[in-house]
Structure 1
Amino acid sequence: MHSLKQVTSCAVALAVAALSLASSVNASPYNGRLLQARYINDSSLVKDAYDYVIVGGGTSGLTVADRLTEDGKATVLVIENGPLPDSAAVTEVRGGFGAFSSPYFYRIQSAPQPELHNASYPVLVGNAVGGSSAVNAMMTVRGTAEDYDRWGLLYRGGGSGRASPWGWDGLLPYFKKAVAFTEPDPAVRDAVNIAYDASYWGNTSGVFAGWPTFQYPGLVPQIEAFRDIPGVEFPPDSGSGRAGVYWHPSFMDPSKVQRSYARTGHYDGINRTSYDLAYNSKVRKINLEDLKATGVVFQTTVQNATQLITVKANKEVILAAGAVHTPQLLQLSGVGPKKQLDEADIETVVDLPGVGQNFQDHPMLGVTIMLRNFTVHPSPMDLITNRNFSSWAKEMWAKNRTGPYSLGIGNVAAWLGMPVISPERHETIASKLEAQDHAAYLPPDTDPTVIAGYKAQMNALATSIRSTNTAFYSLTLYGSNVPAGSTVFLHPLSRGSVRLNPSTPSTSEPIVDYRTLSNPLDIEILAEFVRFTRAYHFNTSLAAYDPHELLPGSDVTSDADLATYIRRSLSPSEYHPSGTAAMLPRELGGVVDEQLKVVMPTLPGANTCQTVYAIAEKAADLIKADA
């Protein structure tokens, strides 16, 4: 059987969706692994054919490769564009964002954004073995049950999304399988009242969800202040599928106090002759014969000489190249919107309008309010730059690997629905969304199927705006005198695209267009975020700490002034690109079906990495069942 399948890939800070042309597997415990799969650094080592060729050695690609080879029956080649870094270069914790200064990213700038004063923004996508899980903020968070049920509803055109294999009930076992949970240190747990429920987690994976060995005491009053806001819930665990305020672990190996990511969990320690990895290698094309994927052509460099290598896939080619490079590779191979392929002088093999459409990310908006009568602690950025960083913290880390250096970005946050954020205006916003001419907020040449898919998504999100259990707003707490830096917009209504550069399609990075704020209701929702964040600081028990607003400023109150601030200050990305090969019916602009001929039609209301691991685990099972 020859087929092309698609899996998701985790993106920076939150995660990233890719195309998955594949399926899934049953995992065995992590114990008993030896050295490593075989490196391919010479073309003579590449076999003529493998059962599975996986494009992308990131979060999803390494997970699927591990699962497909663990019984020794299948041969797998993983092809990764990036390097295999020294492990110490990516396993340091130090504030989570420390990895953002690393060299292990593709360097891509977005198209200019008209609603953001024509500015361009970085498109941060991991470029190394381990992918974005090697460079993200390590936040181990799931979306709510409604996020995943919405996938099933969109694919099946109505009814209960819960009944879909990609609904909450279908994914929960894979969330448990994907990550091994470790309980926090009892002393730290009791000092700041960390709440969790281990029944929502598993313990057999090589990817760990662990806890820092330190938390700032200032988190307690910041958490308790949310109890003063009507409608805020406190779920029993971050993995319970409920919106609210809760603690969550980090992708951290607690025994080492180091980043735990796809490479440490699904590559290091494996000794299988059936599993080969070619890194510093770029796939140029998927070979298609009679609409079947038969293999790939990839480029590698050996002793300063560039070589093109063709390798066959006996069973499947699996795309795990992320939301940016999966559509690029499909388009280079002749699969995508015919008009765009014609512009790039590429022969159309399959006219598939949805490839590269439906692009989404999580925008971030700074709302900075200082608590002037509050203990000052280093912020996450201080952990990286050493600004205001006291010697005691460095000494704690040097002595027993505890203290602020063991922290990522944060381990507690608010994930709240629109009825909580905006009790007076959320219904008006939902009604406006339903009444829109949805085609008016997409480019004028958008294919009718893509328009139909966008309309279906917007109608589903209008329902979600009325629900307390779809989180639209996120605020991570630091325990410092500045409780949080940015609000995160978890379900933006605007949609962008990823397409080939028509002048140099095979040598340039694709053109990434966020199309931020192209749906004007996004501004209305973001304005409500500002108002809610102010209320959290000024109208709760935090008022006793003398809050002072720095951004956007207490004089910025009218709708017009807030819109001006949003356009000036919004970042279009939390580095969670998704959606460009959506699991939707073809008549809704879809690219794959429920057997992972594609995934992630809409973003989950959370950092995406844990979702990517779960999808990859399920994908591996589907692939094995299809073999």
Structure 2
Amino acid sequence: MNRCLAVTVAALALTSQVCYAYPRGLSTARVLARAQDAEDTYDYVIVGGGTAGLTIADRLTEDGKTTVLVVEYGELSSSPLIQTVQGGFMGMSSPQFMYDITSVPQANLRNRTTPVLAGKVVGGGSAVNAMMTVRGTAEDYDRWGRFFSNHSEWSWDGLLPYFKRALHFAPPDAAVARAANITYDAAFWGNTSGVYAGWPSFQFPTTALHVAAFRGVPGVEFPPDSGAGEPGVYWFPTFMDPHTVARSYARTGHYDPAANRSNYHLLTGAKATRILLEGTTATGVAFVQTPANATSSNFTSTALPTVVRARKEVVLSAGGIHSPQILQLSGIGPRKLLAAANITAIVDLPGVGMNFQDHPMLTAAFMYQNFSVHPSSDDMFFNATFQTWAADVWAVNRTGPFSIATGNAAAWLPFPVVSPQRHASVAAALAAQDHAAQLPAGTDATVAAGYRAQMLAYATALRNNGTAFYNSVLSGGAASGVLVDLHPLSRGTVHIDTADPLGAEPVVDYRALSNPLDVAVITELLRFARSSVMDNPLTAGFAPVELVPGANVTSDADWAEYIADTVSPTEFHPAGTCAMMPRELGGVVDEQLRVYGVSNLRVVDASIIPTLPGANTCQTVYAIAEKAADLIRYGPKNGV
């Protein structure tokens, strides 16, 4: 019998004595060692050298003429922790590459706090994530545009060209694909990006068995390709360069290939403190550079800032946690919050820092007593002979199991499939809710109106088969493991610390399970995880045994207790805090990603996502950035 290992894994009082960068002719593209090495003015200044920021900088500088400075707090690192594909997210294990932020206690999770994981390194989240190369369903992206109109270019059809442009698809090895029955359709992919969607050179045979077992679950579909915009069970690629068998991410795809461009500069170790505004026009960025061996951001409250000007635009790409913070520090945000921090409100924009979303996750684990097909991923833990072989083939030619990241197969299922008996009642309850009552007291009416629009859209999605709500990665082990709620109904906040707005990290509150219907949805996900294994004719021969949460958990009350005890409010996908929605719906940016009430300022990162896609966010952020680059270079098209 194989064993199973369950692994889950005075506010903006900046001194007036600013240090202006020295003008000089641009030299070769390089990492600037000191703030004073930067030019005094660039065409574009981009705050954040992560997934989105590096993509935009690459595209804007392709002409060899447009000058760009990327201001990034993290370092430029080639650490093996980032490069390795084994395990998928080794870089996340190092505090060197992560911000040190912890959420406030979560009232509905036994007052637990949780780490707020965000990449602090050139490449951002793409340098430390699980490397899962997936996108949401077509409905996920159509939903975004419909907050504006039925003719918005923010739609599946409008984004698909940018999904294709964003990645270079490398097909799986033909023999591996045949053995595992991996299907794909290159029509959904491109081949011109420097960021690769590749595949490992090995798949555990047991993974294919997990995939096939879903044919015993009524209603489950099997799309021909992970990029087809359809829910179901399918194989998907990895952010991996097939030539080097190393992580492929924003740095390797959008900075390293541009190293000879004299119009592309990257300044590391520099923390943006505000957007410079003349009236309501963005003119540049103020930042301070990290002292040697600094361990926190408190130096920003006393350090002398440097200013760099932007001739054309400032692009804020600091991510779902820090983009709202920088806007608020700049006087753009909720007036009451800014007043509490003694910051003058230049643009009263109530949605900044609201609408915070992440994917909740938790565990359901089952052991198969008669799982006799070898090898399985459990052998990576328990079979010394297999481990030795895997290490040997990796050392010789970088093939074998060590080329697998988090995994390449998963179920992404709609709610009626997961909950055929209760989906209609849950949807009706959501539609009938007092939506404003689910938000923090005193929430602005526009933000409440936007939340209501989101919940009504979700009520429709809960009733149909076009949106995935359930996710479980199929790792090839003798059990299922982490489950993900792809469309949480609760909304949190990310706000400056009014006691120390410039020196402290933002105050992050997931407000987990603040909408009680999240418990109802997650309960159905857990019940489905159990039934898809324990009541499935295609797994019966494996003699499954439930390990977690345990067969004694049966009633709604039991499930609610288990969820409160164990759910994580984050899959490390912070989003939504500078939402792309109409201003009357609490939006922060318009369809061109321009900040309402401010000229020459855009936000381009996961913070603009109005409602999370039912997928890991990285591929979506690449597509957003590619589309944003076109909006910046060429202006709106077809009314966008």
Structure 1 position 124 matched with structure 2 position 112: no
**How high is the TM-score relative to the length of structure 1?**
0.91
- SS of the residue corresponding to residue 73 of structure 1 reads coil
How big is the shift at 1:36?
7.6
Check the 8 A contact 2:81/2:90 in 1, yes or no. Answer: no
Partner of 1:418: 415
Q: 1:380 to 1:493 in 2, by over 3 A?
A: farther
| Matched letter for residue 352 of structure 2 | V
SS at match of 2:468: coil
Correspondence for 1:498 among 494, 497, 501: 494
Q: Is 1:280 the counterpart of 2:266 in the alignment?
A: no
Tell me the distance in 2 between the aligned counterparts of 1:289 and 1:226.
Answer: 58
The aligned amino acid for 2:631 is L
Q: 1:619 aligns with which of 598, 609, 628?
A: 628
Aligned match of 1:30: none
Partner amino acid for 1:558? S
Match of 1:232 among 220, 226, 229: 220
| SS, match of residue 50 in structure 1 | strand
Contact 1:206–1:264 under 8 Å retained in 2:
yes
Q: 1:561 to 1:303 in 2, by over 3 A?
A: closer
Sequence identity of aligned pairs in percent? 58
Q: CA deviation at 1:257?
A: 0.9
Q: CA deviation at 1:113?
A: 0.3
**Contact 1:337–1:355, Cα closer than 8 Å, also in 2:** yes
Cα displacement string for residues 255-305 of structure 1 (whole angstroms, at most 9, x for unaligned residues):
111100000000013111111100011011111112000001111147789
2:84 corresponds to 1:88: no
Q: Deviations over 1:101-145 (max 9, x none)?
A: 123010110011000000000100000000010000000001000
Q: Which residue of 2 aligns with 1:52?
A: 44
Q: Is residue 204–residue 377 contact of structure 2 (8 Å, CA) maintained in 1?
A: no
Question: CA offsets per residue over residues 325-353 of structure 1, 9 Å max, x none?
Answer: 00000000000001111111111111100
Per-residue CA distance 1:142-184 (angstroms, 9 max, x = gap): 100000000011123xxx3xx3111000000000000000010
Q: What is the CA–CA distance in structure 2 between the aligned matches of 1:612 and 1:386, rounded to whole Å?
A: 39
**Match in the other structure for 1:547:** 544
Alignment-mate amino acid for residue 219 of structure 1: T
Alignment of 1:152-167 (within 5 A): 152-156=145-149, 160=150, 163-167=151-155
In the alignment, the residues of structure 1 paired with residue 241 and residue 378 of structure 2 have an alpha-carbon distance, to the nearest angstrom, of 20
Match of 1:210 among 180, 198, 219: 198
Answering whether residue 287 of structure 2 is matched by residue 298 of structure 1, we say yes
- The answer to whether the 8 Å contact 2:361/2:485 transfers is yes
Displacement of 1:545 after TM fit?
A: 0.4
Q: 2:140 aligns with which of 122, 137, 147?
A: 147
Query: Which of 431, 436, 440 lines up with 1:439 in the alignment?
Result: 436
How many residues are matched?
587
Provide the secondary structure at the position in 1 that maps to 2:118: strand
TM-score (norm 2): 0.89
**1:37 shift after superposition:** 2.5
Q: Which residue of 2 aligns with 1:314?
A: 311
Paired AA for residue 215 in structure 1: Q
**Contact 2:205 2:375 survives alignment (8 Å):** no
What root-mean-square deviation, in Å, do the aligned CA atoms of Structure 1 and Structure 2 show? Answer: 2.0
- Aligned with 2:402: secondary structure? helix
Contact 2:379 2:386 in 1 (8 A): no
The answer on 1:525 being equivalent to 2:514 is no
Measure how far apart 1:387 and its partner are: 9.4
1:573 pairs, out of 565, 570, 573, with 570
The Cα offsets for residues 32-86 of structure 1, whole Å up to 9 and x where unpaired, read as xxx9821111233211100000000000000000000001121000000001112
Partner of 1:98: 90
Matches within 5 A, 1:323-334: 323-334=320-331
- Whole-Å separation in 1 of the counterparts to 2:477 and 2:159: 35
Tell me, in whole angstroms, the C-alpha distance in 1 between the residues paired with 2:593 and 2:245: 35
Asked if 2 retains the 8 angstrom alpha-carbon contact of 1:80 and 1:282, the reply is yes
Matching residue of 2:19: none
Q: 1:514 to 1:526 in 2, by over 3 A?
A: same
Q: 2:347 maps to which residue?
A: 350
CA contact (8 A) 1:296 1:311 kept: yes
Shift, 1:480, TM fit:
1.1
Structure 2 counterpart of 1:107: 100
The Cα of 1:404 is off from its aligned counterpart by: 1.6
Retained in 1: the 8 A contact 2:205–2:376? Answer: no
Amino acid in structure 2 at the alignment position of 1:63? T
Unaligned runs of 5+ in 2: 1-7, 9-26, 294-298, 595-602
Cα pair distance change 1:608/1:380, threshold 3 Å? farther
1:294–1:381 CA distance, 2 compared to 1 (3 A): farther
- Aligned residue identity for 1:405: F
* Mapped partners of 2:175, 2:210: distance in 1: 20
Name stretches of at least 5 consecutive residues in structure 1 with no aligned partner: 1-12, 14-34
